[in-house]
Amino acid sequence: MLSLQEAVAAAFRNNKDIRIQEEENKISQAKIQEAQSKFLPQVNLGAGYTHSGSVLQLSTIKSTKKDIGIFSGYKNDNNLNISVDESVYNGGADIANFKQSELGLRVSQETLRVKKLDVEFETKRLYYGLLLAYEAERIAQELFDQAQAHYEDVKNKFGQGTVSKFDLLQSKVQVSKIMPELVRAKNAVDLIAADLKKMLGFKMRDSLALKDKLLYSLIEINEEEFLKQAYLNRPEMNLKALGIDIQKWAIQMAKSGWRPQISAEGGYSYRSNNLGNMFNNRHSNWNAGFSVSIPLFDGFSTKAKVDQAASRYAQAKLEKEDLGEQIAVDIRQACLDLKQAEAIINSSKDNIEEAREALRIAGVSFDNGEGTNLDVLDAQISLSQIENNFSEGVYDYLMAKAFLDRTMAGSQEGK
């Protein structure tokens, strides 16, 4: 037994796209750490051994502080060193990369919201669709039962000689015409239930029952407020805005090719032909330095990259504007669909009882010999059509509201 909220929560737990995107969020977080590492020094520890057939001997040079071998080498050369490299400034590329990685995490998070909204909307569509299928099956079953009962009544009357054979055949044909509709209605229930089970991650053999009914509650339509909420809350709008920011930093990254590159490095090492006598001042050495590289001409490569990034930035701004216009269209569609469904509901709900009464009167008139068999059959069909119109109107209203929620990004059950 599932309520709509429980169905959405189950879909969130089991949907593969959502789980994949959750892993993507973790990847984006790791990319931030990777970008941060560019600002930290790179420290490396190295060790090695080399045996040489001969080594230059500078026997005439005496050193009181350092073993001359650390400069000229040893036949059995043991080396242990630690080095530190730091990129002091690379034209701002590391900063741009870090900012882009932060924005990338937000993109991943907003993408997860998009997937949840899509899964929620699809779950609602199938949940409401199954409720509608239940109602259509009930109406078809009721119509079939009415037609079958009427046929039995007409058959009895025909045996008594009070109705014609035409009425008997007409009633029998009515039952035959309704039977396929009932079969289709039952199959629709099974098919939609299978789709819903797949969405929720259930097995096909699992039983499924819905707690909710095909009911509706009218909402106040305020298109301007709906549009405002959609602009503020819809993750697609946030994604477009983030895309603009990412492309802005892409321009800065491209421009780094015109700027100086500054790096610093240092190291400390021990070198000896005897491991047991390596760690002392005579066998140690150190180095430190920095380098500056100023680009003068790169064949216009950086200019081409900047031009590309600027064009992508302009594209991102246009895409956001286009999405804003589409959201306005979607809000208008949702409002029109709500009004249309409400009109269908209002025109149908008041006529259901009247159609039931008309069927009762047609039956009484036929029993009394004042009405025709066709009047009864038409009244049965009219009642089923009005009930179907009403239930379909309720379904359309619920789906229009679900579409409005999706457009405004205002629900996300169990987020």
CA distance 371 to 379: 12
- Place 411 in a pLDDT band, splitting at 50, 70 and 90: low
pLDDT at 64: 61
- Place 63 in a pLDDT band, splitting at 50, 70 and 90: low
Task: State the Rg of the chain over Cα.
Answer: 39
Adjacent-strand bridge partners of 84: 43, 266
Q: Domains of the chain, with CATH numbers?
A: 4-45+91-262+298-408 (1.20.1600.10)
What's the pTM?
0.84
Pair 65, 281: CB distance under 8 Å:
yes
Nearest Cα to Cα of residue 291 among 92, 88, 91: 88
Query: 246 is written with which tokens?
Result: 């990412």
Instruction: Inform me whether the pLDDT recorded for 413 exceeds 70.
Output: no
Q: Which residue has the higher pLDDT, 212 or 413?
A: 212
pLDDT at 363: 92
Pair 345, 392: CB distance under 8 Å:
no
Nearest Cα to Cα of residue 386 among 343, 340, 353: 353
- Residue 233 CB burial class (10 angstroms; 0-12, 13-18, ≥19): middle
271-287 mean pLDDT: 90
DSSP 51-96: E-S-----TT---SSS-THHHH--SEEEEEEEEEEEEEESTTHHHH
Look at 41-50, 121-130, 364-373 and tell me which has the smallest mean pLDDT: 364-373
Adjacent-strand bridge partners of 285: 269
Query: 373 is written with which tokens?
Result: 């068999």
The per-residue pLDDT for range 243-258, each reduced to its tens digit, is 999 999 999 999 999 9
Nearest Cα to Cα of residue 237 among 99, 330, 376: 330
Pair 162, 369: CB distance under 8 Å:
yes
CA distance 64 to 282: 8
Give SS3 for 372. coil
Instruction: Inform me whether the pLDDT recorded for 410 exceeds 80.
Output: no
The three-state (H, E, C) secondary structure of 162-182, written as one string: CCCHHHHHHHHHHHHHHHHHH
Average pLDDT, rounded, for the chain: 92
The per-residue pLDDT for range 17-53, each reduced to its tens digit, is 999 999 999 999 999 999 999 999 999 999 999 998 8
- Place 59 in a pLDDT band, splitting at 50, 70 and 90: low
